[in-house]
């Protein structure tokens, strides 16, 4: 039986809010009997900042027990918690500008056809079973308990292991004279080029036809609807990148890491995916005619027809 708790005060029988970090929890939302999701905690906070959710909307982990969002304080972003002060209001306005997905580059009067298609209707709820399944798979992976040997790694190390590590580090410094460089982090304004760091940047709809992005760092980069025809993405880091509806015709993705990437309805005609890592990638509706998949790793990826590939799939979805 579904249980509702309209009282904003947490029930004494409930687990205390904030138990664990909750970063990998998936939450269903409900308003006027319409259930959406599940969404990760970060998305709940983002929806609250943008006003798509209200603190009196309901959330649930199992669609059985429901709470108002303001009963789960760890879901409410800091910008909303301090919005009653002038400084807090300013931070909230800045957060809304940062999180608003309909920013200037997506408000083009004449956007690409694929972007216009994505704007039709409500793209957030309900979502396709494939998208929900993909999200749940990754939540399960991230919530898996640490392996037994990790306790040894975190615990006291034997003196001999520590001595060897120090000796090796000193030897490398003396032999090569390497000066450690501090990572400057992603630069979303940097021009396209080999090794560019666009981690977490929003490049939706970008025109990158023929661009040389060899070895680029594109972890969780938003490239939905981007035009990447003939682009060179060999050995690029595209883990969890959003490439839905992207045009990748003839692109070279040999050796690229596409683990967990969203390739829904992407056009990969004649693309080179040799030795690419596509584990847990979502290829629902993607066009792969003429694509080269020799030695491509497809463990647990969602294939074009919605099938989930076997763990040992290499080169084809078995």
Consecutive H or E run containing 38: strand 34-40
Supply the pTM of this predicted model. 0.47
Is the pLDDT at 109 greater than 80? The verdict is: no
Helices marked H in 125-195: 129-142, 149-154, 159-176
pLDDT 10s digits, 153-191: 555 555 566 667 778 878 777 766 544 444 568 899 999
Identify the DSSP state of 30: E
- Tokens 């490049």 found at: 203
pLDDT 10s digits, 231-268: 999 999 999 999 999 999 999 999 999 999 999 999 99
- Cβ proximity of 11 and 5 under 8 Å: yes
Is the pLDDT at 105 greater than 60? The verdict is: no
Structural domains of the chain, with CATH: 1-6+21-104 (no CATH), 195-318 (2.160.20.80)
Q: Is cis: bond before 245, omega within 30 of 0?
A: no
Span 69-77, mean pLDDT? Answer: 86
Q: What is the pLDDT of residue 202?
A: 94
């Amino acid at each position: 039986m579904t249980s509702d708790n309209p009282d904003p005060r947490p029930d004494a029988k409930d687990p205390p809010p904030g138990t664990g970090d909750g970063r990998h929890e998936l939450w269903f939302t409900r308003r006027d009997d319409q259930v959406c999701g599940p969404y990760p905690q970060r998305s709940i906070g983002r929806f609250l900042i943008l006003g798509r959710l209200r603190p009196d909307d309901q959330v649930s982990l199992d669609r059985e027990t429901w709470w108002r969002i303001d009963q789960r304080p760890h879901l409410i972003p800091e910008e909303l918690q301090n919005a009653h002060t002038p400084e807090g209001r300013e931070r909230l306005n800045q957060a809304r500008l940062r999180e608003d997905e309909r920013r200037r580059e997506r408000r083009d009067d004449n956007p690409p056809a694929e972007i216009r298609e994505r704007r039709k209707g409500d793209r957030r709820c309900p979502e396709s079973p494939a998208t929900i399944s993909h999200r749940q798979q990754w939540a399960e992976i991230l919530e898996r308990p640490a392996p037994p040997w990790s306790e040894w790694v975190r615990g006291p190390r034997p003196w001999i292991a520590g001595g060897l590590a120090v000796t090796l580090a000193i030897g490398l410094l003396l032999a090569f004279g390497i000066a450690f460089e501090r990572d400057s982090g992603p630069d979303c304004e940097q021009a396209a080029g080999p090794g560019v760091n666009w981690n977490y940047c929003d490049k939706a709809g970008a025109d990158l036809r023929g661009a040389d992005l060899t070895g680029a760092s594109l972890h969780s980069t938003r490239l939905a609807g981007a035009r990447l025809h003939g682009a060179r993405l060999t050995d690029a880091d595209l883990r969890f990148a959003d490439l839905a509806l992207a045009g990748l015709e003839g692109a070279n993705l040999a050796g690229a890491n596409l683990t967990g990437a969203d390739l829904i309805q992407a056009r990969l005609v004649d693309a080179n995916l040799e030795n690419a890592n596509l584990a847990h990638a979502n290829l629902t509706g993607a066009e792969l005619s003429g694509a080269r998949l020799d030695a491509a790793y497809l463990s647990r990826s969602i294939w074009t027809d919605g099938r989930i590939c076997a763990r040992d799939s290499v080169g084809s979805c078995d």
